[in-house]
Structure 1
Amino acid sequence: MERLVLAVEKPLKEAIWDCQMCGQCILHSTGLSCPMRCPKNLRNGPCGGVRPDGNCEVYADKRCVWVEAWEGSQRLPVFKSHIHHLQKPVDWQLQGTSSWINLLSGRDGKAPLGWSPHPALPQRGRVSEGE
Protein backbone atom coordinates (compact mmCIF):
# COMPACT_ATOMS: atom_id res chain seq x y z
CA MET A 1 0.00 0.00 0.00
CA GLU A 2 2.76 2.46 0.95
CA ARG A 3 4.54 1.95 -2.38
CA LEU A 4 1.34 2.85 -4.22
CA VAL A 5 0.76 5.97 -2.12
CA LEU A 6 4.43 7.00 -2.48
CA ALA A 7 4.14 6.64 -6.27
CA VAL A 8 1.56 9.45 -6.17
CA GLU A 9 2.71 11.48 -3.15
CA LYS A 10 6.41 11.81 -3.97
CA PRO A 11 6.24 13.22 -7.53
CA LEU A 12 3.29 15.45 -6.64
CA LYS A 13 4.89 17.00 -3.56
CA GLU A 14 8.32 17.27 -5.19
CA ALA A 15 6.88 19.13 -8.18
CA ILE A 16 4.77 21.56 -6.14
CA TRP A 17 6.79 22.13 -2.94
CA ASP A 18 10.26 20.70 -3.67
CA CYS A 19 9.41 18.17 -0.94
CA GLN A 20 12.32 16.31 0.63
CA MET A 21 10.12 13.37 1.80
CA CYS A 22 10.92 13.63 5.51
CA GLY A 23 7.82 11.58 6.31
CA GLN A 24 6.55 14.23 8.76
CA CYS A 25 5.06 16.96 6.60
CA ILE A 26 4.41 20.31 8.28
CA LEU A 27 3.69 22.38 5.15
CA HIS A 28 0.49 23.71 6.70
CA SER A 29 2.57 25.15 9.55
CA THR A 30 5.24 26.69 7.33
CA GLY A 31 3.29 28.67 4.76
CA LEU A 32 3.48 25.75 2.29
CA SER A 33 7.28 26.02 2.22
CA CYS A 34 9.12 22.75 2.94
CA PRO A 35 11.48 23.46 5.87
CA MET A 36 13.57 20.42 4.97
CA ARG A 37 14.95 22.44 2.04
CA CYS A 38 16.92 24.43 4.61
CA PRO A 39 20.56 23.32 4.23
CA LYS A 40 20.81 23.24 8.02
CA ASN A 41 17.59 21.17 8.35
CA LEU A 42 16.07 23.75 10.69
CA ARG A 43 12.41 23.05 11.45
CA ASN A 44 11.68 25.85 13.90
CA GLY A 45 12.72 29.03 12.18
CA PRO A 46 15.72 30.59 10.52
CA CYS A 47 19.31 30.44 11.64
CA GLY A 48 21.07 33.63 12.63
CA GLY A 49 22.65 33.96 9.22
CA VAL A 50 19.75 35.08 7.05
CA ARG A 51 21.12 37.77 4.76
CA PRO A 52 19.61 41.29 4.74
CA ASP A 53 18.03 40.57 1.35
CA GLY A 54 16.26 37.49 2.78
CA ASN A 55 18.59 35.01 1.13
CA CYS A 56 20.16 31.94 2.70
CA GLU A 57 23.46 32.12 4.56
CA VAL A 58 24.68 28.87 2.98
CA TYR A 59 23.36 29.39 -0.56
CA ALA A 60 23.47 33.14 -1.15
CA ASP A 61 21.64 32.83 -4.47
CA LYS A 62 18.59 31.17 -2.84
CA ARG A 63 15.85 32.70 -0.74
CA CYS A 64 15.84 31.55 2.89
CA VAL A 65 13.26 28.80 3.35
CA TRP A 66 12.08 30.49 6.53
CA VAL A 67 11.60 33.88 4.86
CA GLU A 68 9.44 32.04 2.31
CA ALA A 69 7.64 30.23 5.14
CA TRP A 70 6.82 33.47 6.96
CA GLU A 71 5.61 35.21 3.82
CA GLY A 72 3.57 32.17 2.79
CA SER A 73 2.00 31.80 6.23
CA GLN A 74 0.78 35.39 6.11
CA ARG A 75 -1.02 34.71 2.82
CA LEU A 76 -2.81 31.56 4.01
CA PRO A 77 -6.47 31.99 4.97
CA VAL A 78 -6.12 29.15 7.51
CA PHE A 79 -3.24 27.86 9.65
CA LYS A 80 -1.72 31.39 9.68
CA SER A 81 -0.81 31.17 13.37
CA HIS A 82 0.80 27.72 12.98
CA ILE A 83 4.07 29.37 11.93
CA HIS A 84 4.48 30.14 15.66
CA HIS A 85 4.09 26.50 16.76
CA LEU A 86 7.21 24.74 18.00
CA GLN A 87 7.83 21.63 15.87
CA LYS A 88 9.19 18.44 17.34
CA PRO A 89 12.56 17.15 16.11
CA VAL A 90 12.65 15.16 12.89
CA ASP A 91 12.40 11.40 13.25
CA TRP A 92 14.98 10.41 10.64
CA GLN A 93 13.63 6.84 10.64
CA LEU A 94 10.64 8.20 8.68
CA GLN A 95 12.81 9.77 5.94
CA GLY A 96 11.59 8.61 2.53
CA THR A 97 8.26 7.31 3.81
CA SER A 98 4.78 8.62 3.05
CA SER A 99 3.78 11.48 5.33
CA TRP A 100 0.16 10.81 4.35
CA ILE A 101 0.32 7.25 5.68
CA ASN A 102 2.39 8.35 8.68
CA LEU A 103 -0.24 10.96 9.56
CA LEU A 104 -3.13 8.50 9.28
CA SER A 105 -1.30 5.79 11.23
CA GLY A 106 0.02 8.17 13.89
CA ARG A 107 3.67 7.31 13.18
CA ASP A 108 4.53 10.96 12.63
CA GLY A 109 3.04 12.06 15.95
CA LYS A 110 5.67 10.51 18.16
CA ALA A 111 8.11 12.85 19.88
CA PRO A 112 11.47 11.84 21.36
CA LEU A 113 11.44 10.89 25.01
CA GLY A 114 11.78 13.99 27.16
CA TRP A 115 10.85 16.45 24.40
CA SER A 116 8.23 19.06 25.20
CA PRO A 117 6.77 21.79 23.01
CA HIS A 118 6.68 23.91 26.19
CA PRO A 119 10.11 23.62 27.82
CA ALA A 120 10.35 24.78 31.40
CA LEU A 121 11.88 28.21 31.59
CA PRO A 122 14.04 29.25 34.53
CA GLN A 123 12.32 31.67 36.86
CA ARG A 124 13.56 35.23 36.73
CA GLY A 125 16.30 35.96 39.22
CA ARG A 126 16.99 32.29 39.95
CA VAL A 127 19.92 30.36 38.60
CA SER A 128 19.30 26.76 37.60
CA GLU A 129 21.61 24.02 38.79
CA GLY A 130 24.62 23.66 36.50
CA GLU A 131 24.65 27.27 35.29
Structure 2
Amino acid sequence: MERLVVAVEKPLKEAVWDCRMCGQCILHSTGLSCPMRCPKNLRNGPCGGVRANGNCEVYPDKRCVWVEAWEGSRRLPVFKDHIEHLQKPVDWQLQGTSSWINLASGRDGVAPKGWEPHASS
Protein backbone atom coordinates (compact mmCIF):
# COMPACT_ATOMS: atom_id res chain seq x y z
CA MET A 1 0.00 0.00 0.00
CA GLU A 2 2.74 2.47 0.96
CA ARG A 3 4.55 1.95 -2.34
CA LEU A 4 1.39 2.89 -4.23
CA VAL A 5 0.81 6.00 -2.11
CA VAL A 6 4.46 7.09 -2.48
CA ALA A 7 4.18 6.55 -6.26
CA VAL A 8 1.39 9.17 -6.29
CA GLU A 9 2.58 11.48 -3.48
CA LYS A 10 6.21 11.85 -4.57
CA PRO A 11 5.74 13.15 -8.14
CA LEU A 12 2.82 15.36 -7.12
CA LYS A 13 4.64 17.00 -4.20
CA GLU A 14 7.93 17.27 -6.13
CA ALA A 15 6.18 19.08 -8.99
CA VAL A 16 4.22 21.48 -6.79
CA TRP A 17 6.52 22.11 -3.80
CA ASP A 18 9.91 20.66 -4.82
CA CYS A 19 9.34 18.17 -1.99
CA ARG A 20 12.22 16.09 -0.60
CA MET A 21 9.98 13.31 0.84
CA CYS A 22 11.17 13.63 4.44
CA GLY A 23 8.06 11.76 5.58
CA GLN A 24 7.15 14.53 8.05
CA CYS A 25 5.59 17.26 5.94
CA ILE A 26 5.21 20.67 7.58
CA LEU A 27 4.28 22.70 4.47
CA HIS A 28 1.30 24.23 6.29
CA SER A 29 3.73 25.59 8.91
CA THR A 30 6.23 26.97 6.41
CA GLY A 31 4.14 28.99 3.98
CA LEU A 32 3.95 26.02 1.58
CA SER A 33 7.75 26.06 1.17
CA CYS A 34 9.50 22.75 1.79
CA PRO A 35 12.16 23.47 4.46
CA MET A 36 14.06 20.34 3.43
CA ARG A 37 15.16 22.26 0.32
CA CYS A 38 17.49 24.22 2.62
CA PRO A 39 21.02 22.95 1.87
CA LYS A 40 21.69 22.94 5.62
CA ASN A 41 18.46 20.97 6.32
CA LEU A 42 17.30 23.64 8.77
CA ARG A 43 13.77 23.03 9.95
CA ASN A 44 13.31 25.96 12.35
CA GLY A 45 14.21 29.07 10.43
CA PRO A 46 17.09 30.53 8.48
CA CYS A 47 20.77 30.25 9.26
CA GLY A 48 22.78 33.36 10.03
CA GLY A 49 24.04 33.52 6.46
CA VAL A 50 20.96 34.74 4.60
CA ARG A 51 22.17 37.42 2.20
CA ALA A 52 20.85 40.98 2.27
CA ASN A 53 18.92 40.30 -0.95
CA GLY A 54 17.18 37.29 0.67
CA ASN A 55 19.26 34.70 -1.15
CA CYS A 56 20.90 31.59 0.26
CA GLU A 57 24.39 31.63 1.76
CA VAL A 58 25.27 28.27 0.18
CA TYR A 59 23.66 28.89 -3.23
CA PRO A 60 23.81 32.68 -3.76
CA ASP A 61 21.77 32.49 -6.97
CA LYS A 62 18.80 30.91 -5.13
CA ARG A 63 16.27 32.49 -2.78
CA CYS A 64 16.56 31.37 0.84
CA VAL A 65 13.92 28.73 1.55
CA TRP A 66 13.12 30.46 4.83
CA VAL A 67 12.61 33.86 3.20
CA GLU A 68 10.14 32.10 0.88
CA ALA A 69 8.55 30.38 3.87
CA TRP A 70 8.05 33.63 5.79
CA GLU A 71 6.61 35.42 2.77
CA GLY A 72 4.36 32.45 1.97
CA SER A 73 3.10 32.18 5.54
CA ARG A 74 2.02 35.83 5.49
CA ARG A 75 -0.18 35.08 2.44
CA LEU A 76 -1.95 32.05 3.95
CA PRO A 77 -5.48 32.65 5.23
CA VAL A 78 -4.89 30.04 7.98
CA PHE A 79 -1.81 28.64 9.73
CA LYS A 80 0.12 31.92 9.28
CA ASP A 81 1.31 31.87 12.91
CA HIS A 82 2.55 28.26 12.61
CA ILE A 83 5.85 29.46 11.16
CA GLU A 84 6.68 30.65 14.67
CA HIS A 85 6.17 27.16 16.19
CA LEU A 86 9.22 25.10 17.09
CA GLN A 87 9.44 22.05 14.84
CA LYS A 88 10.84 18.80 16.15
CA PRO A 89 14.00 17.48 14.47
CA VAL A 90 13.68 15.33 11.38
CA ASP A 91 13.42 11.62 12.00
CA TRP A 92 15.65 10.43 9.17
CA GLN A 93 14.16 6.93 9.45
CA LEU A 94 11.05 8.35 7.77
CA GLN A 95 12.98 9.72 4.76
CA GLY A 96 11.34 8.50 1.54
CA THR A 97 8.14 7.36 3.23
CA SER A 98 4.68 8.80 2.70
CA SER A 99 3.93 11.79 4.90
CA TRP A 100 0.24 11.18 4.18
CA ILE A 101 0.41 7.70 5.69
CA ASN A 102 2.67 8.91 8.50
CA LEU A 103 0.18 11.67 9.36
CA ALA A 104 -2.78 9.28 9.34
CA SER A 105 -0.94 6.75 11.51
CA GLY A 106 0.54 9.35 13.88
CA ARG A 107 4.06 8.24 12.99
CA ASP A 108 5.09 11.76 11.92
CA GLY A 109 4.13 13.17 15.32
CA VAL A 110 6.70 11.13 17.22
CA ALA A 111 9.85 13.08 18.05
CA PRO A 112 13.21 11.38 17.57
CA LYS A 113 14.41 9.59 20.70
CA GLY A 114 16.05 11.92 23.22
CA TRP A 115 14.48 15.13 21.94
CA GLU A 116 12.37 17.23 24.26
CA PRO A 117 11.10 20.70 23.39
CA HIS A 118 12.01 23.52 25.75
CA ALA A 119 9.20 24.76 27.94
CA SER A 120 7.87 28.11 26.77
CA SER A 121 8.32 31.05 29.11
Answer whether TM exceeds 0.5 for this pair. Answer: yes
Q: Which residue of 1 aligns with 2:52?
A: 52
SS of residue in 1 equivalent to 2:39: coil
Q: Which amino acid in structure 1 is aligned with residue 8 of structure 2?
A: V
Alignment of structure 1 residues 70-109 onto 2, 5 Å: 70-109=70-109
Q: Which amino acid in structure 1 is aligned with residue 55 of structure 2?
A: N
Q: Which amino acid in structure 1 is aligned with residue 50 of structure 2?
A: V
Gap runs ≥5 in structure 1: 122-131
Change (3 A) 1:13 1:117: same
Alignment of structure 1 residues 27-66 onto 2, 5 Å: 27-66=27-66
Q: Which residue of 2 aligns with 1:110?
A: 110
Q: Which amino acid in structure 2 is aligned with residue 52 of structure 1?
A: A
| Structure 1 residue 119 displacement after superposition | 4.2
TM-score using structure 2 length: 0.96
Gap runs ≥5 in structure 2: none
Distance 2:117 2:74 in 1: 22
| Structure 1 residue 112 displacement after superposition | 2.6
Query: When the two structures are aligned, how many residues end up with a matched partner?
Result: 121
Distance 1:101 1:114 in 2: 24
Fraction of identical pairs, as percent: 87
- The alignment's C-alpha RMSD in Å is 1.3
1:77-101 per-position Cα deviation (integer Å, ceiling 9, x unaligned): 0000000000000000000000000
